């Protein structure tokens, strides 16, 4: 099962991708998580990516595509995967299609988690990320048991630098300009499915399971 999650930053792609990965037994591959892990480890890739991420800009395609194509070649991807945050531009989508075509494969589902901009600002402002395991919460919609502490690993939660209000607006503009055209791209490819991402998390997941099958 090969799945792409589409949607604005903060729409709930990561939240749903984790649940899809668990239910269908496939890896959750988030390019944002990969970059954040590289930043934490202080790699050269992390240092390069950070300069773009901090400004709310996309990391250049050439730093992203090879990384993902390599990842998809790993053993745990033979039964499929759920891609979260990739592709984010038409050239990335074309490169992905080309890499899959070489293997005689095709993307199967592009699921657009549809949330209007006015809800996004609240979603991202309230998002809290664990510095230890990367788990994501929301101060109102998905709070931890103890404020500021990760339920999963006990580490501290932070507001991501790029979730600060001044960067959120920039990321939304970038989304509309560079990523939203992928909705038409995958619609034309006949694999686009949309879900109403303003519903509660469980209801969004139920809608996705209806699409993917039990
Ligand atoms: P994305 O991966 O698309 O950037 P996330 O999955 O991290 O988005 O979700 C953004 C924020 O919104 C998180 O704090 C998450 O807990 C919260 N969230 C996700 N889905 C919903 C939902 N259906 N209703 C309310 N809040 C949600
Ligand atoms: P995310 O965690 O998906 O919200 O991604 C955080 C940031 O990482 C984005 O704002 C971009 O700067 C960068 N990023 C993640 N995935 C990509 C991608 N596929 N292409 C370019 N930049 C990306």
Percent of the chain exceeding pLDDT 90 equals 96
pLDDT tens per residue across span 11-62? 999 999 999 999 999 999 999 999 999 999 999 999 999 999 999 999 999 9
Name the average pLDDT for the chain: 96
Band of pLDDT at residue 214, cut at 50, 70 and 90: confident
CA of 12 relative to ligand 1 center, distance in Å? 4
Ligand 1 site, residue 11, Cβ cutoff 6 A: yes
Instruction: Determine how β-strand 157-158 pairs with β-strand 127-130.
Output: antiparallel
| 160 token code pair | 């991501």
Give the total residue count for the chain.
214
Of all atoms in ligand 2, which is nearest to the CA of residue 162? 10
Catalytic residue among 2, 19, 88, 123: 88
| Assigned token pair, 88 | 């984010």
Is the pTM higher than 0.85? The answer reads yes
Q: How far apart, in Å, do the first and last CA atoms of the chain sit?
A: 12
CB-ligand 1 contact for 10 (6 Å cutoff): yes
Res 184 pLDDT > 90: yes
Check if 123 is active-site: no
CA distance 33 to 134: 8
Tokens of 76: 């745990």
Residue with the smallest CA separation from ligand 2 atom 15 is 32
Q: What percent of the chain has pLDDT over 70?
A: 100
How far apart are the CA of 61 and the centre of ligand 1, in A?
25
Encode pLDDT of 105-135 as tens digits: 999 999 999 999 999 999 999 999 999 988 9
Nearest C-alpha neighbor of 30 from the set 50, 9, 52? 9
Q: Can 13 be counted among the known catalytic residues?
A: yes
DSSP string, 188-205: HTT-EEEEETTS-HHHHH
Q: How do residues 160-181 score in pLDDT, each as one tens digit?
A: 989 998 899 999 999 999 999 9
167-187 as b/e: b if 16+ CB within 10 A: bbeebbebbeebbeebbebbe
What is the atom index within ligand 2 of the atom nearest the CA of 33? Answer: 2
Mean pLDDT of 87-114: 97
């Amino acid at each position: 099962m090969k799945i792409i999650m589409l949607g604005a930053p903060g729409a709930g792609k990561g939240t749903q991708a984790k649940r899809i990965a668990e239910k269908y037994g496939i890896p959750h591959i988030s390019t944002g998580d990969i970059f954040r892990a590289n930043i934490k480890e202080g790699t050269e890739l992390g240092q390069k990516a950070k300069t773009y991420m901090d400004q709310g800009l996309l990391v250049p395609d050439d730093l992203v595509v090879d990384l993902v194509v390599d990842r998809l070649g790993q053993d745990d991807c033979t039964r499929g995967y759920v891609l979260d945050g990739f592709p984010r531009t038409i050239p990335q989508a074309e490169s992905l299609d080309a890499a899959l075509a070489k293997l005689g494969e095709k993307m199967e589902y592009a699921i657009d988690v549809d949330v209007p901009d006015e809800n996004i600002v609240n979603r991202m402002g309230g998002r809290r990320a664990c510095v230890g395991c990367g788990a994501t919460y929301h101060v109102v919609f998905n709070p931890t048991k103890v404020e500021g502490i990760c339920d999963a690993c006990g580490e501290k939660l932070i507001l991501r630098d790029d979730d600060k209000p001044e960067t959120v607006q920039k990321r939304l503009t970038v989304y509309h300009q560079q990523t939203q055209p992928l909705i038409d791209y995958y619609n034309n490819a006949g694999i686009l499915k949309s879900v109403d991402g303003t519903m509660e998390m469980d209801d969004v997941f139920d809608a996705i399971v209806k699409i993917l099958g039990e």
